[in-house]
């Protein structure tokens, strides 16, 4: 009988994979198309033939078209893909490990803490180079996670979704105030960081991409291993322990991955919000509650949303541009209100 049940479970898994795998293919194609738009569209008008010629050469020849395409737009697009995927997956992991539909690296103060530590490192300690201050971003992200979860865990009920959201809001306000205080007392820092602070892909050259790409790739690969354990945690801590999971170690490992993903993305692009909050809900709507599918769907949906917002900001704001953090804030706020209104806080 056990063999029959196991075979039936395997058959259901295979049928589900057959049904959901084409969705990943469609998302890959959509992401490739949006990435192409990101490289070809911008505040500077460049003909499609010229862009394709620059992409075909794969080496800048010093012309404006080649410089804009290969030195500016291509690194910006690649960073948007990696950072978007990181933020989407970080949000999905946080929502799963806390069983909180409002969990997100931005809402829970992780991005703001990472940003505060980076601003402190740059303005006070004089740190230069993303390869150095990315470690400050990791430290800030870890500190925020520990503070928020420890604060929310106080009391008899433990870390409920509402308490996590409140603790995250407090952390976001606190670390945001620290960042503002440091920047406002330093005019040079204000001019240097004003676009980065709102969340932006503009001016992200190849050295920044190279500096954070290893962390983002390692974090994304590691996150895919959490699908099964997040499914167990979704059933409750007692059930997860009954299934043989070590809940404490699982949460610690998940938080470490979130710190790497959110910290590296924030170090490169600034504190971008709403991507990690909204995208996992869209992924859950498309593929159901199984985190083995939510994570890869979020990994593709998030950069799709981020690049679309970035392209929209460049097109609408031409001849200048709107920073992607501003565009996402405008578009994401109504969606966040809808999630607060309709999400059942006790479930994910």
Instruction: Answer yes or no: are the C-beta atoms of 82 and 208 closer than 8 Å.
Output: no
88/167: higher pLDDT: 88
Instruction: Answer yes or no: are the C-beta atoms of 117 and 179 closer than 8 Å.
Output: no
- Helices 247-269 and 74-98 pack at an angle, to 10 degrees, of 150
Statement: residue 197 has pLDDT above 80: no
- Arithmetic mean of pLDDT over the chain: 79
Statement: residue 332 has pLDDT above 80: no
DSSP assignment string, 193-206: HHHHHT---TT--H
Task: Report the candidate in 37, 36, 79 with the shortest Cα–Cα distance to residue 201.
Answer: 79
SS3 content of the chain, % helix, strand, coil (to 5): 80, 0, 20
Residue 151 included in any domain: yes
Where is 53: in which H helix or E strand?
A: helix 48-57
Three-class SS of residue 233?
helix
Residue 200 included in any domain: yes
Residue 64 included in any domain: yes
Confidence band, pLDDT 50/70/90 cuts, at residue 145 = confident
DSSP secondary-structure letter at 43? S
Provide the domain limits for residue 264: 2-342
pLDDT of the residue at 296: 94
Report the number of distinct structural domains present in the chain: 1
Statement: residue 271 has pLDDT above 60: yes
Residue 270 included in any domain: yes
269/197: higher pLDDT: 269
Statement: residue 258 has pLDDT above 60: yes
CATH number, residue 287 = 1.10.3470.10
Residue 347 included in any domain: no
Residue 98 included in any domain: yes
Provide the token pair at 150: 């420890």
Please name the residues in contact with 347: beta carbons below 8 A apart, sequence gap of 6 or more: 99, 101
pLDDT of the residue at 191: 60
pLDDT of the residue at 43: 65
Residue 348 included in any domain: no
Confidence band, pLDDT 50/70/90 cuts, at residue 29 = very high
């Amino acid at each position: 009988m056990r063999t029959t049940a196991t075979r039936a479970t395997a058959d259901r898994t295979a049928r589900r994979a057959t049904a959901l795998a084409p969705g990943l293919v469609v998302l890959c194609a959509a992401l490739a198309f949006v990435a192409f738009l990101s490289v070809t569209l911008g505040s500077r008008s460049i003909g499609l033939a010229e862009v394709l010629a620059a992409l075909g050469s794969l080496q800048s020849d010093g012309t404006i078209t080649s410089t804009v395409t290969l030195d500016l737009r291509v690194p910006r697009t690649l960073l948007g893909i990696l950072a978007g995927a990181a933020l989407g997956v970080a949000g999905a992991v946080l929502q799963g490990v806390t069983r909180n539909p409002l969990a997100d690296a931005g809402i829970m103060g992780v991005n703001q803490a990472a940003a505060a530590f980076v601003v402190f490192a740059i303005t006070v300690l004089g740190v230069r180079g993303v390869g150095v201050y990315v470690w400050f971003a990791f430290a800030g992200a870890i500190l925020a996670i520990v503070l928020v979860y420890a604060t929310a865990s106080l009391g008899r009920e433990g870390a409920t979704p509402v308490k996590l959201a409140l603790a995250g809001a407090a952390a976001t306000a606190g670390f945001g105030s620290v960042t503002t205080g440091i920047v406002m007392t330093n005019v040079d820092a204000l001019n240097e960081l004003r676009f980065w602070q709102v969340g932006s892909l503009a001016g992200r050259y190849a050295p920044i991409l190279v500096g954070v790409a290893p962390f983002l790739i390692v974090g994304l690969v590691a996150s895919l291993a959490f699908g099964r354990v997040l499914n167990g945690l979704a059933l409750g801590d007692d059930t997860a322990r009954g299934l043989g999971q070590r809940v404490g170690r699982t949460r610690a490992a998940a938080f470490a991955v979130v710190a790497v993903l959110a910290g590296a993305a924030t170090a490169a692009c600034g504190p971008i919000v709403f991507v990690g909050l909204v995208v996992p809900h869209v992924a859950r709507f498309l593929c159901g509650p199984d985190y083995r599918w939510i994570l890869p769907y979020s990994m593709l949906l998030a950069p799709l949303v981020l690049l679309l917002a970035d392209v929209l900001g460049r097109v609408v704001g031409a001849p200048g541009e709107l920073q992607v953090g501003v565009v996402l804030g405008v578009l994401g706020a109504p969606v966040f209100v809808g999630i607060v209104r309709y999400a059942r806080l006790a479930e994910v």
